[in-house]
Amino acid sequence: MNAPIALFVYNRLDHTQRTVESLKKNIGADQSTLLIFSDGPKNKSDFEKIKILREYLKTISGFGEINFIEREKNLGLAESIITGVTEVVNQFGKIIVLEDDMLTSPYFLTFMNEALDKYEHETKVCAIHGYAYPEVKSAFFQYFLRMSDCWGWATWQDRWALFQRDGYELLTQITNQKLVELFDFEGSANYLQMLKEQILGLNNSWAIRWYASTFLKNKLGLFPSKSLVRNIGTDGSGQHCQMDHSMDIDLSHEKMILSDLSITEDQTARKQLINFFNEKIKSPGMLDKIKKYPVYLLPKILIKKIRNFILENDKAGYFGNYRSWEEVKNISTGYEHNTILNAVEKSLQKVKRGKAAFERDSVLFYQHEYSQPLTQILKDIAGSNSSRLSVLDFGGSLGSLYYQNKNAFSNLDLFEWCIVEQDSFFLAGKKQFEDGVLHFYRHISDCLNDRRPDVLLLSSVLSYLENPFHTLESLLAYNFKWIIIDRTLLMAGPQNRLTLQKVPPSIYDASYPCWIICQNLLLNFFAKQYNLKYQFNALGGVIKIKPDHEIAAFKGFLFEHK
């Protein structure tokens, strides 16, 4: 019996039509069950596109049976595929998977079904693939690689059961077993970085986790020597796909005869793929298929300005992997340097007088932008709290976030913003910036004796504490109802990393110790006492630590007390 075909679609009518039309021309299509998974809209603008697409889907014919699974809510591509594949294999035992931008050869279904039958009981084989990489030429009609791909593939229920959702666990196993080079095809591909980006929420790839899951079990994928699939989503319209024609390949219009292969990795094919990846990296603008992308789209003016400062010269950025705070402190100017206070104080005075819209790290911005999504989170909290918002901004400088966002809360029944800072900032804030809403304190206990804040805000502060988790432990003891972490540098793990941060001279001439915190350690620390309600990519984006280019990302979280 032919395997059921699962087709995952979203809102691209033209691509979907081309995919369906090519699939209909397959030998055996009229004897196959087609299950179409239509994801729900992400936003109002996609609603009409999805409505039109679903009207088209109802007109499809040419298959043995057609079933529609229409999601009311948006699951996202990753969850849509993970959930859909699981449902299908649990019912049918096997599956052929396509997305809405895959053109197929007329012999695609024949090859996939014959290979599924041939290797059904060969558990070393994790998947069958329809796509053939350019420049990989095997002596046989097919070849095995220790990898799983996502461009037109098939698998069985017991093999799909290997799929591991937890990217951090996969990363830990790969690094602990010293398999990074093998996983990255001897350094020619950036698969480990993709996995780290998935952990950090910079991409939502199910495919990198599928590859990692099967790789760790030492499984093999079967690939054809001539491609039976062509991805038309590399025109820039596909999720995680930017404009990239280096992966384009002509479709084969010949029947693929199954070879009797030894179920071992084809080393010749592997070397050819490594060469292809290496050449691809050399090409200008050509990176891997799966790209990092922001889950939350930040204001363009802020992105441009912040990135320009970070990239203005090679002397600025995040450096090293130090053993002790004292070691970094001895080679830096430190946070207490008057240069920082003077620069922030001067800029914020201009904001206070209306000469600038807001400031960030002493940098002035003249076009007003709320600090999203932080502003919306605070609005939601106030809405659920009888129009009352009391914030304790721990390490909040002289009120940068207060001045940037205060107009959004002017209609609340109660609005107060309390800042706890080191002595020099406390004295300056108390003297020059305190008003009826903004208040400054030396210690948390002073603030709590005076007021009852519901929200603890930690924006760009944890990385600059000598013992961030010790401080967090003290803060959690106060049992704030909500805790917001914003603009905090995190890495995929498995440990925290201590770096030297050098500020671009155009901001101010300073350097200081900076922790890049392991995201998994941070989330686990909160898990006993708080529920994670929301996470987002924060202002600052992705950085690379020098000199080894390890990635880290500015992230944010909203926690609510259990």
Q: Kind of pairing, strands 530-545 and 550-561? A: antiparallel
Domain 5-282 adopts which CATH fold? Spore Coat Polysaccharide Biosynthesis Protein SpsA; Chain A (3.90.550)
Residues sharing a CB contact under 8 Å with residue 560, sequence separation 6 or more, in sequence order: 481, 482, 530, 531, 533
Burial pattern 468-492, b for ≥16 Cβ within 10 A else e, equals: beebbeebbeeebebbbbbbbbbbb
Q: Please tell me the distance from the alpha carbon of residue 351 to that of residue 404, in angstroms, as a whole number.
A: 9
Given this structure, which CATH class describes domain 319-561? alpha beta
Residue 145 in contact with residue 266, Cβ under 8 Å?
Answer: yes
Q: What does the domain layout of the chain look like in residue ranges?
A: 5-282, 319-561
Q: By CB neighbour count within 10 A (0-12 exposed, 13-18 middle, 19+ buried), where does 44 fall?
A: exposed
Q: pLDDT at position 247, please? A: 77
Give 54: exposed, middle or buried? Use CB within 10 Å, 0-12, 13-18, 19+. Answer: middle
- Can you tell me the distance from the alpha carbon of 210 to that of 468, in angstroms, rounded to the nearest whole number? 34
Question: How many other CB atoms sit within 10 Å of the CB of residue 390?
Answer: 19
User: What is residue 287's predicted lDDT score, i.e. its pLDDT?
Assistant: 35
Average pLDDT by stretches of 10, the chain with 562 residues? 97 97 97 98 94 96 97 95 98 98 97 98 98 86 96 98 96 95 94 94 95 98 96 65 66 92 96 90 44 42 52 76 96 79 88 85 81 93 97 95 93 97 94 95 96 96 97 97 97 94 83 96 97 94 92 97 97
Q: Which stretches does DSSP call E strand in 294-383?
A: 317-322, 358-360, 363-365
DSSP at 427: H
Q: Is there a common fold for 5-282 and 319-561?
A: no
